[in-house]
Amino acid sequence: YALTMIFQNPSTVELVAERDGIELILRGMKLHKEDVTVQMLGCAALWYLIPFCTDELNNVVMSVLDFAMGGHPNQVSVQKYALAVLVKCLHAKPMLIQEYGIDLIDAIAYCVEKHRDEPCIVKNGCALLSKISNYEKENVFAVVASLDLLPLFIASIRKHCSYPQVLEQILSILSKLAKRKTMATYIVQTRGVASIVAAMMANTTHAGIQYEGCQSVLNMSRNIGLQKTIGNEGGVYAVVDSMRFHPEDEGIQALGVACLSNLMNVHENIEMLVLAEAKSVLEDVEHSDKRLFKKVEVITVAISKIEDSGIGKRAKPKRRTTSRKDPFVQNRMKDTLQTSKRRSLFGSIGCMFDKEDDQEIYQHHT
């Protein structure tokens, strides 16, 4: 505990590292592996020391998995600090992913499943699984399927809607899982698209959420049979709004154009592009990749044909958009930590909430 207080002064961290502080902490965690407080504070102290212990990272990960996470699976505080340490370790040395493989994935997935109500655990757990999937994709997919975590991720969007950083990481892992056709189909069939769209609509100015949301929609939209449902659940409007609110973000612009290029295979989706005023958004696209403009041209031509036929003018929108002609209710939403206020946009987008939850949710947010 004294070390965690001392480490508030950054200059002391390196000093402790030079005096074998890491080795002493790991030894203490091993000798007192049954003590919850020792494991929690040991992980907290290690979190500060990781930048100075690249040679000891293997031992750190092993101790965290065996003594902290494995020894105290029901202790929220221990699991929270342990995941935070793993995030730093894998960021500093990605090769650890292949070294610990399935044991690492199992520990993280079980932790998220066990403590799904904890925002910090869900955030770091999803971030870790998303990163690991870049190296151990098949193992991550297998563990997610065996623990039935996909419904948990979708439900977590509702549960942690007040935490933008948590939503970003949930959408990140969903975008990876949506690359597999069976999982993309499951997300769509369980109204996961509506949850993703609601998260995007409520955080239009958050670039991370918009990027991961567009990536999720893009991966699902590669399946032709899902394109109509994605449009009906508000996917078209969410993507157009992402592009509208982030005109200078090349990543979001590229993903948005790719999404719309897939979704325009369905006639009804093109009508939604007209209602969302997508043409003006596409005309303002700026990107270093000139090949992107070929897709923009194709989409723009399709929109113009609908406009000329008058179908778009007669069509009735199934969802609201954040078009300037379609104002949303503006309100302020406080998170449970009362740390700051952020602007939110809510509309009748068919939303991510179950019907019986609608009244309670809207009362909370207004």
| Segment 83-131, tens digit of pLDDT | 999 999 999 999 999 999 899 999 999 999 999 999 999 999 999 999 9
| Segment 293-346, tens digit of pLDDT | 889 999 999 999 988 776 545 554 444 444 433 333 233 233 322 333 333 333
What is the predicted pLDDT for the residue at 307?
A: 84
What is the predicted pLDDT for the residue at 53?
A: 84
Q: Is 341 in a helix, a strand, or coil?
A: strand
Do 162 and 203 contact (CB within 8 A), yes or no?
A: no
Listed in order, strand segments (DSSP E) in the chain are: 329-334, 341-346
Spatial separation of the C-alpha atoms in residues 11 and 21, rounded to whole Å: 14
| Segment 9-49, tens digit of pLDDT | 988 999 999 888 999 999 999 999 999 999 999 999 999 99
| Segment 261-289, tens digit of pLDDT | 999 999 999 999 999 999 999 988 877 77
Nearest to 187 by CA among 176, 197, 174, 203: 174
What is the predicted pLDDT for the residue at 345?
A: 33
Which pLDDT band holds residue 155 (cuts at 50, 70, 90)?
A: very high
Asked if the model's pLDDT at residue 78 lies above 50, the reply is yes
What is the predicted pLDDT for the residue at 311?
A: 58
Q: Is 346 in a helix, a strand, or coil?
A: strand
What is the predicted pLDDT for the residue at 285?
A: 85
What is the predicted pLDDT for the residue at 122?
A: 97
| Segment 342-358, tens digit of pLDDT | 333 333 333 333 334 44
Ranges 52-56, 171-175, 207-211: which has the least confidence: 52-56
Classify burial at 59, counting beta carbons within 10 Å of its beta carbon; exposed 0-12, middle 13-18, buried 19 or more.
middle
